[in-house]
Amino acid sequence: MCGIMGIINKKGMAIKKVIEGLERLEYRGYDSCGIAYLTNNKIETVKTKGRVKDLKELIDTDIKSDIAIGHTRWATHGVASTINAHPHTVGDITLVHNGIIENYLELKEILISKGYQFKSTTDTEIACALIDFYYQENKDIKKAIISFMDKVKGSYAIVLLCKDIKDKIFVIKKDSPLVIGVNTDTVFVASDIPTILSECNDYYLLNDLEWASISSSEITFYSNKGEEQVKERQTFKDGNFTYSKDKYDHFMLKEIMEQQDTLSNLINYYIEDNKYLDLIDISKYKRIDIVACGSAYHAGLVGKYLFEEEANIETQVYLASEYRYKKNFLDENSLVIFISQSGETADTLACLKKIKETKAKSLGIINVENSSISIAVDEVIYTKSGSEIAVATTKAYTSQIAVLALLTLSSLAKHNKSYDIDKIINELKNIKDDVKKVLDDKDKYKSIAKKIIASKKIFFLGRSIDYAIMREGDLKLKEITYLSSECYAAGELKHGPISLIDKDTLVIAGNTNKILYEKTESNLSEVVARGANIILVTNKGKANSNTIVIPERSSFISPILEVIPLQLISYYTGVFLERDIDKPRNLAKSVTVE
Ligand code: F6R
């Protein structure tokens, strides 16, 4: 999704710093980019369709400038093009924007009737014109921003330059992320904390419906009514973010390989001194809803399995985009768990805001510290997997499962004295070795990737917890390879989709669940009888070129071991197909629009 970067730097380095920031924002996914900077008392704008490296070719980064703003755009209103790229300038105002102006068509008509003309098809240019319109009334930027916030509907993080004010940038926020970082000679404005973490230690967070006026020596915060706000300067605690691929060709591979450490560090942290017992007691609640999007939703499906089958706690899992418009049945006995790597996903955040109107308790399982969801929930558990740069999530997803497993274990230890907790703890303690074993089988994963490429149709099948994991495998393959694949609960196949199965079909199946082992085997025999080839991920029997055998473990660990081969198979398929692995087309890391 769109990324924002703004800088005030007294040493004339603003252009260079903004470009560096845009490079760090690239992981969010984008299709065009641009920069506006102040030089010789004039605001210059350079923008282009394509990557930051294309933008760099159009700019002399040695030009001295103290103030610059930049943007990576992920197209929503209007195609990816240079004209639609940000910054936009209308009259005296130049700005970049992340979010969606919902009433932009209505505003456009009003502005056209006032004489404004538009070059782009974006909602952002309308926002820019609206601020300019109010600014021209009496050349008061404060009044213009307040009137804008009053009139506009939707979500926005805006960073703005005004032609007449040469020493300040202004930022405005509602429902889109924005952070202000400070060090001795520079103020940074960015869409997320990781982008500025290498540059500064202290930061301020704006709440929704707040804005700020920023000069090199002073930051003043205001409400949407213009009242000054007192804000606490905060200090980054987590220095765990890095932007290096190390020896790997892609961030995705690095992040897959890192799982042996991310998982064992997270789990050992909670096991040491029995800290897992301090986690929220899920069994206290009569209703548990898990709400998330994409892979985080798939982690939620694994959580449902663990809560229900192991801890006997009924649980519902919902896609955030559905939950936000659905009637809820929440009261003081309800717990709503929000799972999100970024902590900024618009739909998940909107659900959290909605349930805040009820008496339900909210718990966040979040990777990025101080992200919007992590701040707004009643309680947060961090997944501690460090920076995840590849758009397709891997290590953050398995850490989400690990946290759900620890919550289950915590409940069992408190309420089910007959449960063999020590056996699970021992398994958890050995997770590093188990993960290493499944990571090591690279040649096999490469040869399966070639079989995928040679097949006309790909199906993922599994039952119960295997189905949850196959859904994640299916999503990974789609994201990274752009191949079409289908995922079904194995028992559902004969109710329709089996008509698609023939000799050109490759079926990737999970079969690790003792209770359902034979049932899944029968379903697989049905597809073999129709000519399909099978790649099996199981914890029984002998491995061969089409069978991946993972260590036989409880359902606290097994789903993690089952998904890792699928991550690597998708990765190698994408590599063989020469896809843009870390930044797959059309995708964004942090989905901050609905
Ligand atoms: C898939 C992927 C997405 C995210 C989804 C939610 O690889 O990364 O499906 O899982 O967009 O994002 P977060 O977890 O940031 O809320």
Task: Identify the helix (H) or strand (E) that includes residue 432.
Answer: helix 431-439
Taking the centre of ligand 1 as the mean of its atom positions, its distance from the CA of residue 475, in whole angstroms, is 10
Establish whether residue 340 lines the binding site of ligand 1, counting it when its CB lies within 6 angstroms of any ligand atom.
yes
> For ligand 1, is residue 122 a contact (CB within 6 Å)?
no
**Secondary structure (H, E, C), 522-545:** HHHHHHHHCCCEEEEEECCCCCEC
Q: 7, 14 in Cβ contact below 8 A? A: yes
Distances (CA, A) of 479 to 11, 68, 76: 42, 34, 19
Q: Which amino acid is at 569?
A: I
Pocket probe for ligand 1: among 591, 593, 594, the residue whose CB has the most ligand atoms within 8 Å is: 591
Share of the chain above pLDDT 90, in %: 86
Strand pairing report for 547-549 and 93-101: unpaired
The tens digit of pLDDT for each residue in 357-414 reads: 999 999 999 999 888 899 999 999 999 999 899 999 999 999 999 999 999 999 999 9
Question: How far apart are the C-alpha atoms of 76 and 99, rounded to whole Å?
Answer: 9
The per-residue pLDDT for range 275-320, each reduced to its tens digit, is: 999 999 999 999 999 999 999 999 999 999 999 999 999 999 999 9
Pocket probe for ligand 1: among 290, 365, 393, 579, the residue whose CB has the most ligand atoms within 8 Å is 393
Burial of 213 (0-12, 13-18, 19+ CB in 10 A): middle
Q: Summarize pLDDT for 322-336 with one digit per residue, the tens.
A: 999 999 999 999 999
Contacts with 239 (C-beta within 8 Å, 6 or more apart), sequence order = 197
Instruction: Give me ligand 1 centre to Cα 364, in Å.
Output: 15
Asked if residues 470 and 460 have their Cβ atoms less than 8 Å apart, the reply is yes
End-to-end, the C-alpha distance of the chain in Å comes to: 11
479 lines ligand 1 (CB under 6 A): yes
Q: Give the DSSP per-residue string, 451-505.
A: HHHH-SEEEEEE-HHHHHHHHHHHHHHHHHH---EEEEEGGGGGGTGGGG-STTE
344 contact partners, CB below 8 Å, separation of at least 6: 177, 192, 368, 371, 372, 373, 590, 592
Which residues are catalytic, by number?
Answer: 2, 589
Reported pTM: 0.84
Q: What is the pLDDT of residues 111-154, one digit of tens each?
A: 999 999 999 999 999 999 999 999 999 999 999 999 999 999 99
Torsional sign, CA 505, 506, 512, 518: positive
pLDDT at 500 over 70: yes
Phi first, then psi: give them for residue 402, nearest 5 degrees.
-60, -40
> What is the position in ligand 1's atom list of the atom closest to the CA of 293?
6
pLDDT at residue 242 in the model: 65
- Binning the chain into helix, strand and coil, the percentages to the nearest 5 are 40, 25, 35
Q: Is 400 in the pocket of ligand 1 (CB under 6 A)?
A: no
Alpha-carbon gap, residue 198 to 571, rounded angstroms: 29
- H/E stretch holding 173 reads strand 165-174
Distance between Cα 38 and ligand 1 center (Å): 37
The strands making up 154-162's β-sheet, listed across from edge to edge, are 88-90, 93-101, 154-162, 165-174, 210-214, 219-223, 228-229
Could you tell me the pLDDT band of residue 238, with boundaries at 50, 70 and 90? low
Show Cβ contacts of residue 5 under 8 Å, excluding neighbours closer than 6 positions.
18, 21, 22, 25, 69, 70, 71, 188, 189, 190, 191, 195
Q: Is the model's pLDDT at 593 over the cut of 80?
A: no
Identify the pLDDT of residue 240. 54
Mean residue pLDDT of the chain comes to 94
Query: 295 CB less than 6 Å from ligand 1?
Result: yes
Name the closest-CA residue to atom 4, ligand 1: 294
Does ligand 1 have an atom closer than 6 angstroms to the CB of 591?
A: yes
Q: How far is the CA of 591 from the centre of ligand 1 (A)?
A: 8
Average pLDDT, integer, range 575-581:
97
Nearest CA to ligand 1 atom 11: 294
Distance of CA 228 to the CA centre of its chain: 33
* Residue 239 pLDDT grade (very low, low, confident, very high; cuts 50, 70, 90): low
Asked whether 348 lines ligand 1 (CB < 6 A), one says yes
Please identify, by atom number, the ligand 1 atom nearest to the C-alpha of residue 298.
10
Name the CA dihedral angle for 588, 592, 593, 594, rounded to a multiple of 10 degrees.
100
The response to whether residue 365 sits with its C-beta less than 6 Å from ligand 1 reads no
Distance 346 CA to ligand 1 centre (A): 11
CA of 477 to the centre of ligand 1 (A): 14
**Of 285, 274, 260, residue with least CA distance to 409:** 274
pLDDT confidence bin for 552, thresholds 50/70/90: very high
- Determine the Cα angle at 575 with ends 510 and 366, to 5°: 60
Residue 416 has a pLDDT of 87
C-alpha to C-alpha distance for 309 and 564, rounded to whole angstroms: 23
Ligand 1 atom nearest the C-alpha of 345 is 16
Compute, in angstroms, the gap from residue 58 CA to the centroid of ligand 1: 33
Tell whether the torsion through CA atoms of 368, 371, 373 and 375 is positive or negative.
positive
Ligand 1 nearest atom to the CA of residue 394, by list position:
7
H-run or E-run covering 2:
none
Q: Which two structure tokens, joined as six digits, stand for 188?
A: 């940074």
Helix or strand or coil: residue 288?
strand
Q: How far is the CA of 396 from the centre of ligand 1 (A)?
A: 9
Ligand 1 contact via 374 beta carbon (within 6 Å): no
What whole-number distance in Å separates Cα of residue 457 and Cα of residue 499?
12
Which residue puts its alpha carbon closest to atom 10 of ligand 1? 295
473 Cβ below 6 A of ligand 1: no
pLDDT of residue 74: 87
Sheet holding 533-538, edge to edge: 485-489, 457-462, 505-511, 533-538, 547-549
Ligand 1 touching residue 398 (CB < 6 A): no
In whole angstroms, give the CA distance from residue 444 to residue 547: 9
- Ligand 1 pocket member 291 (CB < 6 A): no
Q: Give the closest residue (by CA) to ligand 1 atom 7.
A: 392
